[in-house]
């Protein structure tokens, strides 16, 4: 999605359209409104000034209402995001504001999060459940050759 795509809504109820996507900040609110109208769980997480894994996992525990038993490690996060049984929703929309802060501070942790969410999206697709994760980046990030390089 981008400014030129704002007039086209993505079908958030279609599991086949799910996955991990990069958008601009202005796209998050319309996505949240659309998902709320479709009774999807909306987990909105600000990554502003997020510096790495520990801070990220604390923020996700809050915004995704993770169980008290959440282990605060990558494996526990992967288990939770592939299950979400405590949320009882027909689908899931995860929104990440200021994603560039984590990406710039700790690219390895950012990439690990992307990998976990990408794997989760595949699992939810197999279960025919809508699952979307949208990372908001500044407009200039989409013009960065390193960002658009599939080998990077």
pTM for this entry: 0.88
State phi, psi for 19 to the nearest 5 degrees. 145, -160
Domains and their CATH numbers in the chain:
18-148 (3.30.370.10)
pLDDT tens-digit map of 80-116: 999 998 998 999 999 999 999 999 999 999 999 999 9
pLDDT tens-digit map of 45-88: 999 999 999 999 999 999 999 999 999 999 999 999 999 989 98
Provide the residue count of the chain.
Answer: 152
- 30, 141 in Cβ contact below 8 A? no
């Amino acid at each position: 999605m981008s400014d030129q795509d704002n007039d086209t809504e993505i079908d958030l109820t279609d599991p086949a359209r799910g996955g991990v996507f990069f958008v601009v900040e202005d796209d998050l609110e319309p996505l949240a409104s659309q998902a709320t109208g479709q009774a999807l769980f909306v987990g909105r997480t600000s990554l502003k000034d997020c510096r790495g894994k520990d801070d990220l996992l604390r923020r996700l525990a809050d915004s995704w209402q993770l169980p008290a038993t959440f282990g605060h490690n990558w494996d526990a996060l992967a288990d939770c995001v592939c299950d979400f049984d405590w949320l009882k929703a027909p689908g899931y929309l995860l929104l990440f504001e200021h994603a560039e802060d984590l990406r710039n501070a700790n690219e390895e942790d950012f990439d690990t999060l992307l990998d976990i969410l990408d794997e989760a999206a595949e699992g939810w697709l197999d279960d025919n459940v809508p699952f979307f994760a949208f990372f908001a980046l500044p407009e200039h990030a989409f013009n960065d050759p390193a960002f658009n390089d599939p080998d990077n």
